[in-house]
Amino acid sequence: MSKTDNSFFKNLKFQNQTPYIDEADIEHFDSGFGQKFTNKMRLVNDDGSFNIERKGGRRSMYEWMLEIHWIGFFAILMGAYIVCNAIFAVLFWINGIDEIFGIYPSTLVEELYHCFFFSVQTFTTLGYGRIGPIGIGANIIASLNAFAGLLTFALATGLFFARFSKPTSSIKFSNNILMTPFANEFQSIQLRIINGSHTKMTDMQARLLFTWLEQEDGKFRRKFERLDLFIDSIYLFPLNWTIVHVIDKDSPLNGKSKEWYAERNAELILIVKGFDDTYSQFITDYRGYDLNKLIVNARFKTMYMIKKEKTILDMSLLDSYELISEEQ
């Protein structure tokens, strides 16, 4: 079992059999939620998002454009494209269509229609040649129109490339959390992860955080402890990796039942980090698990098989498990 985090457990104090962290020792471990966090609900949702709504502060347009869905991204670009050309079409019309060669007096709708598509031609630098500015005012507006087009396409291209090239986590987490016999002596908590893409990942590391509610002086306080893992790092990640915490006599989960977990809104937070060779960057991902949904006396099914000197990994079996009979 990994002893990487033993320094943390040495700094735990106990009060009425309840572990807590002295303020002088907080530097040894910080969950990120603080030591006085009182929310009784989930900390991390099943999809890995924080169950926290942020108010105040500023969010840049660049950040927002990088994070919205692709459909929304293209919808905004198309909307900006139409609005910008509509504005220049109105400017051309106000300046007078007599300064634009190829557009002749007609109804208001037709004049605006021709001005809009002339703006599109100028904005995109197409210039079909049928319509062109002949007055000083129209030429000034056309120059500004072309300049706005160059800037807009440069920004759109930069945003598109930033979104396309941004590394994203390909790590897939099992939805199930199991309690499985370990070494015919202990019970263990087991989770499973795989690399969901064809990229190569190395230097994988995992941390498992246990959090629950404890009542002190009539108030609920959320407690945190880091759980030791049987294997907390692997060099290569070609197959699935089962994250195992052994519930021995020193484990914070020792003696706890599903009823205890339910009463205290207990959950686990799994944080995984690894190096993605394709993007040449470290990728970090995390997932929250409600311990009230713990499946007792079960084990994960094998995800891979050997066939014609090849190892076949069936990623559809990530969540598959089987119950263990008492005879086994």
Choice among 157-166, 173-182, 247-256, 288-297 with the minimum mean pLDDT: 157-166
89 neighbors 116 (Cβ within 8 angstroms): yes
223 neighbors 257 (Cβ within 8 angstroms): no
Name the residue among 82, 257, 55 with its Cα closest to residue 152: 82
Domain boundaries, the chain: 6-46+175-323, 61-165
For 169-220, write each residue's pLDDT tens digit: 788 999 999 999 998 888 999 999 998 888 888 999 999 999 888 877 777 7
292 neighbors 259 (Cβ within 8 angstroms): no
Residue 3: its pLDDT value, please?
A: 40
Indicate whether 84 pLDDT > 90.
yes
Which residues, 6+ apart, have CB-to-CB distance to 227 below 8 Å? 189, 208, 209, 210, 245, 251, 252, 253, 268
- The radius of gyration computed from the CA coordinates of the chain, to the nearest angstrom, equals 30
237 neighbors 257 (Cβ within 8 angstroms): no
Sign of the C-alpha dihedral computed for residues 238, 242, 248 and 252 taken in this order: positive
Domain 61-165 annotated CATH 3.30.40.10: no
Choice among 32-46, 49-63, 125-139 with the minimum mean pLDDT: 32-46
Question: What values do phi and psi take at 155, rounded to 5?
Answer: -65, -45
Indicate whether 257 pLDDT > 70.
yes
Name the residue with higher pLDDT: 304 or 82: 82
| Mean pLDDT in residue range 62-79 | 88
Indicate whether 277 pLDDT > 60.
yes
**Band of residue 39 on the pLDDT scale cut at 50, 70, 90:** low
**Band of residue 227 on the pLDDT scale cut at 50, 70, 90:** very high
Mean pLDDT (the chain, rounded): 81
Compute how many other C-beta atoms are within 10 angstroms of the C-beta atom of residue 89.
22
Highest mean pLDDT (candidates 13-17, 257-261, 304-308): 257-261
Name the residue with higher pLDDT: 214 or 82: 82
Measured in whole angstroms, how far is the alpha carbon of residue 260 from the centre of its chain? Answer: 30
Look up the CATH number of domain 6-46+175-323: 2.60.40.1400
Residue 8: its pLDDT value, please?
A: 39
CA 67/CA 163 separation, integer angstroms: 8
Which residues, 6+ apart, have CB-to-CB distance to 222 below 8 Å? 33, 37, 38, 39, 43, 211, 212, 213, 214
CA 69/CA 222 separation, integer angstroms: 34
| Mean pLDDT in residue range 284-292 | 89
Predicted TM-score (pTM) of the model is 0.64
| Mean pLDDT in residue range 123-132 | 85
CA 267/CA 191 separation, integer angstroms: 13
Concatenating the DSSP letter of every residue in 228-270 gives: P-S--EEEE-SS-EEEEEEE-TTSTTTT--HHHHHHTT-EEEE
Residue 19: its pLDDT value, please?
A: 45
Residue 49: its pLDDT value, please?
A: 59
3-state secondary structure of 71: helix
Residue 41: its pLDDT value, please?
A: 57
| Mean pLDDT in residue range 235-246 | 91
Residue 115: its pLDDT value, please?
A: 92
Residue 4: its pLDDT value, please?
A: 41
Residue 74: its pLDDT value, please?
A: 92
254's tokens: 């020792």
Residues above pLDDT 90, as percent of the chain: 38
